[in-house]
């Protein structure tokens, strides 16, 4: 579940889609996505060699929209940072190993 305060929810389905997309982006960064360099050039050129989370990789995500009188702003970005921090903290709780770069890799 993900709760988001977006001010006035003008388009709830659009908000839900943006948040789910942000979670997919963040999950990709945490687990899969890695940019590597060879001879000062990026090796990945497109999605065939840069893995991202796809539908089968995604957990079920429910979005709770909390309306408020707060000023409306962007809705896609707020869900990105908390997921990577939460996963890194969960890994630390299990392994006592603090991982500080993405994608998260245990030594």
Q: How many CA atoms lie within 13 A of 101 on its CB side?
A: 4
Q: Is 2 helix (H, G, I), strand (E, B) or coil?
A: strand
φ, ψ of residue 44 to 5 degrees: the values are -80, 135
Which mean pLDDT values do the consecutive 10-residue runs of the chain (107 residues) have? 90 94 93 93 93 91 92 84 94 96 90
What pLDDT score was predicted for residue 100? 93
What pLDDT score was predicted for residue 78? 87
Q: Does domain 2-95 have CATH number 2.102.10.10?
A: no
Single pTM value for the model: 0.83
**Closest by CA position to 18, among listed 30, 6, 36:** 6
């Amino acid at each position: 579940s993900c709760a988001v305060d977006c001010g006035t929810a003008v388009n709830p389905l659009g908000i839900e889609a943006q948040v789910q997309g942000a979670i997919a982006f963040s999950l990709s960064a945490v687990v899969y996505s890695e940019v590597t360099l060879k001879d000062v050039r990026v090796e990945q050129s497109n999605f065939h060699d840069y893995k991202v989370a796809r539908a089968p990789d995604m957990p079920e995500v429910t979005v709770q929209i909390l309306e408020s009188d707060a000023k409306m702003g962007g809705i896609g970005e707020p869900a990105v940072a908390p997921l990577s921090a939460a996963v890194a903290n969960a890994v630390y709780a299990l392994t006592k190993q603090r991982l500080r770069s993405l994608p998260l890799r245990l030594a």
